[in-house]
Amino acid sequence: MSTIPFNKPYLTGKEVHFIYQAVASGKISGDGMFTKKCHSFFEKRYGYQKCLLTSSCTDALEMAAILVNIQPGDEVIMPSYTFVSTATAFVLRGANIVFCDSRSDRPGIDEDKIEALITSKTKAIVPVHYAGVACDMDKIMDLAAKYNLFVIEDAAQAIESYYTGRDGVKRPLGSIGHLAAFSFHETKNIMSGEGGMLVINDEKFIERAEIVREKGTNRSKFFRGELDKYGWVDIGSSFLPSDIIAAFLYAQLENIDDIQKKRIALWEKYMELLAPLKDKFSLPVIPPYATNNAHMFYIVCHSIEDRTKLIAHIKANGILAVYHYLSLHKSEFYENKYQGPELHETDRYTDCLLRLPMYYELTMDDVEKVCKTIESAQL
């Protein structure tokens, strides 16, 4: 029986060729030729003020935590339904994480529940654009302005996704908060195995970001000829990836339109075929202010029992579907530290959300097979 995996990394065909070029250039440490090409690509296509490739989205979030100067005891508000790195990046700087529940219609942070969590210690809000679908950024930026907070968009899944605010302007995700973090892990639309990027939308962070990314040194200035030697001026780490990784990523970026077109067609096919089953589980909701980047197709079952049954049923038919995050506030690491209320929606997505196969080389026939198999399950 042929199987349909949950994810399969897609190669445009040029990755290894570009890696060969990077290697031939004689510079394959960080900030080589392809890193610069990637930075330019993002800055031109999305109008981001400054982009810096990192080794991972985790690294980009850690840079953000350093840049907004998180100190022990500072509070950072984020959803509990997110990847561990959203939280650890701030915990490493001593932050207390204040977990906010998800919306009832989708797993993004419930924007209307944030304000009640703000205290005098709150330093930042980290909205996560789950499945690449925009949070309602107007509400979040209003709170940030009102309480003088930083907003760091966790845009790990949100490449090529947009938000249209009340001013009617359509902005790419990652361009709205003060800082944003993207992932190019192999499970993402555009990927390089491991990889990430920090986007800086507030000019005041740029100079320090370059320093923090270069182990706390002013080496970037030195390489531009602005200094005659470089030294240790700040805290930092080695956040920059090899140019081999950037070369791989650039091959993907050149094909972003093709990749997105294909993924969106697959996503819409899922939506069309599963719509008749909407009493058996919930389907994804794209609000009017958001676009869909087809990062993920998920359904939300009515119960964990339904989900367990469904996973087993479709696995028996050679299809791999997987659940996603576990409520961070109930994790072994945070359980004893968490003092907030029950987060019912978070727990519901933890128990009931199921991600279906979604990757470039998935075929329409595969999607039909998946949907028919789901239809045949006894829910």
Q: Which residues bind its own copies (CB under 8 A)?
A: 8-9, 11, 15-16, 19-20, 23, 26-30, 55-59, 62, 72, 83-85, 87-89, 91-92, 185-187, 192-195, 215-217, 229, 231-238, 240-245, 248, 326, 328, 331-334
CB of 240 to its own copies, least distance (A): 7
Residue 215 CA to residue 168 CA, distance in Å, equals 41
Task: Please name the residue that has the structure tokens 């980009």.
Answer: 60
Nearest to 347, CA basis, from 325, 373, 316, 318: 325
The nearer residue to its own copies, 85 or 122, going by C-beta atoms, is: 85
Nearest to 239, CA basis, from 258, 257, 217: 217
The nearer residue to its own copies, 272 or 361, going by C-beta atoms, is: 361
The nearer residue to its own copies, 83 or 182, going by C-beta atoms, is: 83
CB contact at 8 A, 179 and 202: yes
Nearest to 141, CA basis, from 178, 104, 167: 178
CB of 217 to its own copies, least distance (A): 5
Residue 241 CA to residue 214 CA, distance in Å, equals 11
The nearer residue to its own copies, 238 or 376, going by C-beta atoms, is: 238
Q: Quick one: angle between helices 364-375 and 304-316, nearest 10? A: 130
The nearer residue to its own copies, 28 or 133, going by C-beta atoms, is: 28
Measured in degrees and rounded to the nearest 5, phi and psi for residue 271 equal -60, -45
CB of 372 to its own copies, least distance (A): 26
Q: Give the CA count within 13 Å in the CB-facing half-sphere of 288.
A: 3
The nearer residue to its own copies, 53 or 314, going by C-beta atoms, is: 53
Question: What is the DSSP pairing of strand 75-79 with strand 96-100?
Answer: parallel
CB contact at 8 A, 348 and 110: no
CB of 367 to its own copies, least distance (A): 20
CB of 300 to its own copies, least distance (A): 18
Where helices occur in 148-255 by DSSP H, the ranges are 206-213, 219-223, 243-254
CB contact at 8 A, 292 and 267: yes
- Classify residue 226 by burial, with Cβ atoms within 10 Å: 0-12, 13-18, 19+: exposed
Provide the residue type at 336 as one letter.
N
Residue 23, token pair as written in the block: 């290697």
CB of 315 to its own copies, least distance (A): 15
CB of 235 to its own copies, least distance (A): 6
CB of 47 to its own copies, least distance (A): 28
CB of 80 to its own copies, least distance (A): 11
The nearer residue to its own copies, 244 or 343, going by C-beta atoms, is: 244
Residue 178, token pair as written in the block: 């003060």
The nearer residue to its own copies, 43 or 186, going by C-beta atoms, is: 186
Residue 284 CA to residue 294 CA, distance in Å, equals 11
CB of 44 to its own copies, least distance (A): 25
Angle at 43 between CA 40 and CA 47, to 5 degrees: 155
Residue 378 CA to residue 285 CA, distance in Å, equals 24
The nearer residue to its own copies, 143 or 245, going by C-beta atoms, is: 245
The nearer residue to its own copies, 34 or 150, going by C-beta atoms, is: 34
